[in-house]
Amino acid sequence: MNKREQYEDLLPQVQAVMDENVDIIANMANLTAMLHETFGFWWTGFYRVIGDELVLGPFQGPLACTRIPFGRGVCGSAWKERKTLVVPDVEQFPGHIACSSASRSEIVVPVFQNDEVVAVLDIDSDRLGTFDDVDAQYLEQLVGRL
Ligand code: SME
């Protein structure tokens, strides 16, 4: 299966699992698990907007930084710019925050509620150039189901 087919397979599964009657953290945890297991990423998880910083939420993979200020790193930049950021080589991204030295490429997708960014989905790969517009398009759809 190619990447697009894997995402197409995942969409109805995620739809079935997302529960609108529970706290968003429970749904973030399950979405994280499904993405991480399907694609075998290095690190998959959420940071939630709490006050003026991002705070680590549900994730799978090695331990990570707990707090990221607005506008800092890829995550803080995606929050500030209110858009998905695809980073093919993290060493080329000024201000990238290296929670793990194994991370080589990254995608960060903002989660909106009532037009406000309430969280970001952050995915790291241990290979260069893992993410592209296909990932951006499907991950935006998936976080829209939270
Ligand atoms: N690399 C991110 C920090 C979070 S970790 O990758 C899990 C950034 O630059 O914002």
CA 89–ligand 1 middle distance (angstroms)? 13
Report which protein residue has its CA nearest ligand 1's atom 6.
Answer: 99
Tokens 């979405």 sit at which residue? 31
Question: Strand 67-69 and strand 85-87: pairing?
Answer: unpaired
Distance CA 118, CA 141 (A): 16
Pocket test for ligand 1, best of 43, 65, 90 (most atoms within 8 A of CB): 65
Domain, as residue range, for 127: 3-143
Question: Strand 53-60 and strand 43-50: pairing?
Answer: antiparallel
Which pTM does this prediction carry? 0.97
Residues 6 or more apart from 97 whose CB is under 8 A from it? 65, 68, 72, 73, 74, 75
CA 111–ligand 1 middle distance (angstroms)? 16
Sequential pLDDT tens for the chain (146 residues): 899 999 999 999 999 999 988 889 999 999 999 999 999 999 999 999 999 999 999 999 999 999 999 999 999 999 999 999 999 999 999 999 998 889 999 999 999 999 999 999 999 999 999 999 999 999 999 999 99
Total tally of structural domains belonging to the chain: 1
CA 96–ligand 1 middle distance (angstroms)? 7
Q: Residue 82 belongs to a domain with what CATH number?
A: 3.30.450.40
